């Protein structure tokens, strides 16, 4: 039978149809997967939102913690420098850290023998209470055996809301050099002439 190319092609492809089984299969795909797609749409971008909030929380925590930590240590160093400049007498004279620790019994922590203050280079003169950042702290008077100069060593509990880095910092405030570090859960500061 003679027809145009167009008509013949139309007829030719029109003869191809999906079988009943294939059609059912295709329709099942549409129904099944579409349902799961809409289930996902019920909470659009849920995971993205959770991830964004988590990232935001982490950044907020880091930001506020860094800010509050910086403020805390800045104020502490200033208080220490001012305290050192007062040159207050010790309440107990002893070259034994244990004796001084027993005297300062109101402290919530035991005094520590800092690794940065080796006994063969420093001599303990005595100690007293002091008040730093609203809490009791130990103020120890030391003499450097090399240069014979007097230094003040401070020990206080590290606040739980301050996630301090364990690094060492060297600061200069009001003519006083304040070395500050964290050791065994305590904030330690050594103040002396700059």
Partner 1 sequence: MFSKEELNKFYRYCIVLTGEENSASDLLQCCLEKYVRQDTAGVCNLKAYFRRMIRNQFVDDQRKDGNQHQYEFDEECIALQIDTKSLDDIIIEREQVELILTMLTPHEREILFLWAVEGLTVQDISHDLGIPKGTLLSRLHRLKLKVKNKLGAKREMGAI
Closest approach of Cβ 35 to partner 1, in Å? 9
Subset of 4-43 contacting partner 1 (CB under 8 A): 4-14, 16-18, 22-23, 25-27, 29-31, 33-34, 37, 41
Looking at the Cβ atoms of 8 and 163, the one nearer to partner 1 is 8
Q: Give yes or no for a contact between 127 and 139, defined as CB atoms under 8 angstroms apart.
A: yes
Looking at the Cβ atoms of 25 and 194, the one nearer to partner 1 is 25
Radius of gyration of the chain (CA): 37
Angle at 149 between CA 171 and CA 186, to 5 degrees: 45
Looking at the Cβ atoms of 41 and 146, the one nearer to partner 1 is 41
Closest approach of Cβ 49 to partner 1, in Å? 17
Strand partners, 142: 124, 151
Looking at the Cβ atoms of 21 and 106, the one nearer to partner 1 is 21
Per CB under 8 A, 47 contacts partner 1 = no
3-class SS of residue 155: strand
| DSSP codes, 21-72 | HHHHHHHHHHHHHHHHHHHHHHSTTHHHHHHHHHHHHHHHHHHHHHHHHHHH
Per CB under 8 A, 48 contacts partner 1 = no
Closest approach of Cβ 15 to partner 1, in Å? 9
């Amino acid at each position: 039978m003679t027809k145009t190319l167009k008509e013949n092609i139309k007829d030719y492809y029109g003869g191809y149809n999906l079988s009943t089984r294939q059609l059912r299969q295709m329709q099942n795909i549409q129904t099944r997967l579409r349902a799961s797609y809409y289930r996902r749409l019920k909470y659009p971008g849920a995971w993205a939102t959770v991830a964004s909030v988590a990232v935001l929380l982490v950044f907020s925590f880091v930001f506020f913690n860094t800010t509050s930590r910086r403020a805390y240590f800045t104020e502490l160093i200033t208080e220490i420098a001012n305290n050192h400049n007062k040159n207050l007498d010790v309440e107990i004279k002893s070259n034994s850290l244990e004796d001084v620790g027993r005297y300062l019994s109101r402290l919530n922590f035991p005094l520590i023998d800092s690794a940065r203050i080796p006994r063969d280079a420093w001599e303990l003169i005595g100690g007293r209470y002091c008040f730093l950042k609203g809490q009791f702290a130990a103020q120890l008077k030391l003499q450097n055996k090399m240069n014979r100069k007097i230094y003040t060593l401070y020990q206080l509990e590290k606040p739980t809301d301050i996630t301090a880095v364990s690094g060492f910092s060297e600061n200069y405030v009001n003519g006083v050099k304040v070395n500050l570090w964290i050791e065994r859960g305590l904030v330690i500061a050594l103040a002396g002439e700059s």
